[in-house]
Chain A
Amino acid sequence: MSANPAKPTDFACRPFHYPALEADGAYFESLGESVIAASFDENIESECKQAANLGLADLSPLPRTGFKGKQAINWLSDTGLSIGEENNYSWLQTDQTLIARLADTEALVLSDLNARSDLCRRLEKQNAEQMPEQCYHVPRQDSSAWFIVTGKHADIMFAKLCAVDMRLSRFKSGSIAQTSMARMNAIAIRHDLGEIPAFHILFDSASADYLWRMLKDAMSEFSGKPVGYNAICHLAQ
């Protein structure tokens, strides 16, 4: 049971598919101005074990943002962020936020898993104030849902949904695939939680319920299950 239980409907900002999470037995906790599915099991150790095997968690309430335009990468770099030259690759920043370079003209910013960094909010504010030319905010917080799939079976599970070769030996940590997953556009970013393989999945927020079902179905072959945010944070430490 959660230490700080909260109800999604007590907040204006609600996880995209919270009724499905509730149906799966999620316990919610408040996180910033929203709530997050903190656990599905009373025992965090068993959830961590589950995540190490094959777990699926909803991270949609965590901050994220995006910027696009010809000057987007330059502008982000000028703010002090570390972004390499390679498209479809991601870089972890000192505050543990993740910058995913999707193209020469677009980047995605994912909050650290503990949501301690205020980078997303800061960048959005700065962009709105400065209105830099050819650098436009993309409302990723609401346009894209954010799941994380973890565990040793994650890569072979993805083979049931996605045509990209995501084998751990080929799809190294940091890699990005912008692809079709269960017939939906999705961005997959591999960033392991310590020793545990982990893939962040960003996709159409209106399809959160659908992809949650498709992932659970694909995972069942490998005994995969939903896990809570707390287990993900625990593994990330």
Chain B
Amino acid sequence: MSCLKPQFHEMRVTPLKTGTQLSFDLLAGALTGRDAARATGTLHVLGNPGGIVHLHDGGITCIESAGAPGTDALLLRTGRLSESEWTSALTTGTLGTLGETELHVVTMMATHDAAFSIVAGDVEECSFTPQVLDAPVTMTAAIDPVDLLQETSRRITSLQALEHPLCPHRERLAAARAATVRDLGPVRGEIVAHATGRRTTRDIAFAAGRSVYPVTVEACRMVADGLLTVVPGTSAVVRGPQPAIPLRPRRPPPPSPVPGPPADDDGDDVPLPRSLRHQLLPKLFKQPERKKP
């Protein structure tokens, strides 16, 4: 477990070191192990957030993770690309106003960020399959796994070296009273605007369309500066009426004391009193009335 559970008092900051090292070792072992060496396929990283590493000839072409915005989220949330442009980019391969190099760079950013996010969370297991899965966008030039691991290690170390390191998946942040969006720069202002007390730095990054690592680092500094506070663990905002009676199935109706006489119209289940059926139905549907023997 990389992120210890937060304690229930203000400004408690989680030590990242121990568990994150385990997550890093598991990912590093899988990426540099025998299975993934010069392999083409998919490395499934199970955990929270976990992720998928797309490999081609041993190089990483893309990493997707629930813990970090992908290329599409980075481009769409910032308004760099419109919905229709993205849809046509996926279907026809035309990029509109976006250049191929720019797409490559954004995908590389997203890939590094996903690796950081996976390692900052919990990794339970890594398993490689030679099956190639579809990725929305892949890089034109693959990243060497060792380079990616070095960069990820550098990011984790930098985060740990900060005064108040935050886990991007655990600590939920709220703006301190002193913080006003107007007085802060664009990045800090955006973080304060999205820090509702329910969001982690990962959630803030998604809401702002920014990468998780820079948002987390900036949020750590803002905690140190007293602009953000860490919200205690059980912060579920519970709303709704409080019914006193528990939900139960409706009781079956009491059995009628005298069973009714058997139907005399061949099981006709029209919900009308029997006295009316013979009067109304022939008129409504122009059916000839059945003759009784």
Bind each other: no
**Partner-A contacts on B (CB < 8 A):** none
**Partner-B contacts on A (CB < 8 A):** none
